[in-house]
């Protein structure tokens, strides 16, 4: 039996954990004993517990309840808590997802104790070191023993960084292995799409008609914390809603909610409050989000996960960032990088609605979790 400690903390990691835990439970429970540690990075009901309730994710065995804080403070509390646990209880491996502070903390704590690290969603690069996530993912990749990239681009990025010539050997005597597993989020979108149809009535709740609304999410620190950028994005959204007489629905991350009043210009803040077409709503559940994505005319986002889900559900996507790790989406003409530039956002909206898009299967086959578990079993037996 291989005993694994999975680290989760932020919303997208909780969702990703659903796919891995489902694969273990359905097919591999006699090989893998998974325990889950929630760092407590996200803690509001609709940023955390809602996903456990809805997606059948096992209750975390441990919760550090670290809450919010500066990068150093938050990450330090996590490292300390994870280290304590790893010292108290033996694990064969530690598993982390993506690129958040919870990912970094897990990787740092385990590496110092010579516990092999499994990194799911490895190899992604924005080549923008101003992003906290870029720092987290580079460190985590370099500390990991088993790396699973979601795309061929991720695989090539690691090749370019010398991962395939690495001579480093880990304490268990094994070298590093890298696999392109496909995207574990795609597993979830396929698995939960039908279930969402039956269980959610979010379209009725907000009077939304298929193909007659735009879905938007915004939460990146470089957008929320920068008055100029946040104001430019919201100006573009308000203009698009008015010029096209279309509803915009925006499930708002708590980070963004907290900063709207202080970081939007007073003119745009007033416009937003009196708008009859732009609706700010609290963060929604994953099943609700899937339905919002599937039925939207177009999606605009700075989220990594939402960019991909737009692609999975064959929706064009305006990317509200200066670059993307998910370059395949742009290469397929399914997304345009508009950054936080008001004119570019409006132009990209128009352009994407008139584009012929082919959605090639660049994120795998939707069976990433099973593939990953099989490779983990091979590695440890």
Annotated active-site positions, please?
219
Verify binding: residue 58, ligand UD1, rule CB under 6 A: no
Question: Footprint of ligand UD1 on residues 114-133 (CB under 6 A)?
Answer: 132-133
CB closer to ligand UDP out of 93 and 299? 299
Least spacing, CB of residue 293 vs ligand UD1, in Å: 16
Angle between helices 368-380 and 184-199 (to 10 degrees): 140
Verify binding: residue 44, ligand UD1, rule CB under 6 A: yes
- In the list ligand UD1, ligand UDP, none, the entry touching 283 (Cβ below 5 to 8 angstroms by class) is ligand UDP
Rounded CA separation 142/237 (Å): 39
The arrangement of strands across the sheet holding 93-97 comes to 62-63, 32-38, 2-8, 93-97, 117-120, 146-149, 177-180
Helix (H) or strand (E) holding 319: strand 317-319
Q: Which stretch binds ligand UD1 (CB under 6 A): 99-107, 193-201, 228-236, 366-374?
A: 99-107
* Interface residue list for ligand UDP (CB under 6 A): 11-12, 15, 217, 219, 251, 283-284, 286, 289, 303-306, 309
Least spacing, CB of residue 60 vs ligand UD1, in Å: 15
Rounded CA separation 195/202 (Å): 13
Q: Which stretch binds ligand UD1 (CB under 6 A): 55-63, 98-106, 184-192, 313-321?
A: 98-106
Q: Total residues at the site for ligand UD1 (CB under 6 A)? A: 20
317-319 vs 298-301, strand pairing mode:
parallel
Rounded CA separation 290/198 (Å): 12
The alpha carbon of 304 is separated from its chain's Cα centroid by a whole number of angstroms, namely 5
Q: For the chain, give percent helix, strand, coil, nearest 5.
A: 50, 15, 35
125: left (phi over 0), alpha (psi -120 to 50) or beta: beta
Contact 285, 51 (CB under 8 A): yes
3-class DSSP state of 93: strand
Least spacing, CB of residue 63 vs ligand UDP, in Å: 19
Least spacing, CB of residue 151 vs ligand UD1, in Å: 18
Question: Footprint of ligand UD1 on residues 183-222 (CB under 6 A)?
Answer: 219, 221
H helix count then E strand count, the chain = 17, 13
Contact 254, 286 (CB under 8 A): no
The residue with tokens 């699973």 is: 148
- In the list ligand UDP, ligand UD1, none, the entry touching 42 (Cβ below 5 to 8 angstroms by class) is ligand UD1
Least spacing, CB of residue 179 vs ligand UDP, in Å: 21
Binding mask 7-26 for ligand UD1 (x = CB under 6 A): ---xxx--------------
Q: Which stretch binds ligand UD1 (CB under 6 A): 21-29, 97-105, 142-150, 369-377?
A: 97-105
CB closer to ligand UDP out of 32 and 230? 230
Least spacing, CB of residue 253 vs ligand UDP, in Å: 6
Binding mask 316-335 for ligand UD1 (x = CB under 6 A): --------------------
3-class DSSP state of 143: helix
Give Cβ neighbours of residue 76 (< 8 Å, ≥ 6 apart). Answer: none
Rounded CA separation 287/196 (Å): 5
Question: Footprint of ligand UD1 on residues 232-271 (CB under 6 A)?
Answer: 253-255, 258
Least spacing, CB of residue 257 vs ligand UD1, in Å: 8
Binding mask 61-80 for ligand UD1 (x = CB under 6 A): -------x------------
Contact 312, 366 (CB under 8 A): no
Of residues 4, 379, 19, the one with CA closest to residue 179: 379
CB closer to ligand UDP out of 69 and 132? 132
Q: Which residues form the interface with ligand UD1 (CB under 6 A)?
A: 10-12, 41-44, 47, 68, 99-101, 132-133, 219, 221, 253-255, 258
């Amino acid at each position: 039996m291989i005993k694994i400690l999975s680290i989760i903390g932020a919303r997208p990691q909780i969702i990703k954990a659903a796919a891995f835990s489902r694969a273990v439970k359905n097919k591999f429970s006699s090989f893998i004993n998974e325990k889950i540690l929630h760092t407590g990075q996200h803690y509001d009901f609709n940023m955390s517990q809602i996903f456990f309730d809805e997606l059948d994710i096992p209750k975390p065995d441990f919760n550090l309840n670290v809450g919010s804080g500066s990068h150093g403070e938050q990450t330090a509390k996590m490292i300390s808590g994870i280290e304590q646990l790893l010292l108290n209880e033996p694990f064969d491996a530690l598993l982390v997802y993506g690129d958040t502070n919870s990912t970094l903390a897990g990787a740092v704590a385990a590496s110092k104790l010579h516990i092999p690290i499994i990194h799911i969603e490895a190899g992604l690069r924005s080549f923008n070191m101003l992003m906290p996530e870029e720092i987290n993912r580079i460190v985590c990749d370099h500390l990991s023993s088993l790396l699973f990239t979601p795309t061929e681009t991720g695989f090539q990025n690691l090749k370019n960084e010398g991962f395939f010539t690495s001579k480093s050997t880990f304490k268990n005597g094994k070298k590093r292995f890298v696999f392109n597993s496909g995207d574990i989020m795609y597993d979830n979108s396929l698995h939960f799409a039908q279930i969402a149809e039956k269980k959610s009535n979010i379209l009725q709740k907000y009077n939304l008609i298929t193909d007659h609304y735009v879905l938007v999410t915004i939460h990146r620190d470089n957008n929320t914390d920068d008055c100029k950028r946040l104001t430019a994005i919201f100006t573009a959204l308000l203009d698009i809603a008015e010029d096209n007489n279309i509803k915009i629905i925006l499930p708002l991350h708590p980070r963004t909610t907290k900063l709207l009043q202080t970081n939007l210009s007073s003119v745009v803040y007033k416009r937003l409050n009196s708008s009859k077409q732009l609706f700010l709503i609290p963060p929604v559940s994953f099943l609700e989000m899937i339905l919002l994505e599937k039925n939207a005319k177009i999606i605009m986002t700075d989220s990594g996960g939402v960019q991909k889900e737009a692609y999975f559900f064959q929706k064009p996507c305006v990317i509200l960032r200066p670059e993307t790790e998910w370059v395949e989406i742009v290469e397929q003409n399914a997304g345009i990088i508009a950054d936080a530039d008001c004119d570019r956002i409006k132009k990209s909206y128009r352009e994407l609605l008139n584009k012929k898009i082919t959605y090639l299967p660049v994120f795998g086959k939707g069976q990433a979790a099973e593939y990953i578990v099989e490779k983990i079993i091979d590695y440890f037996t």
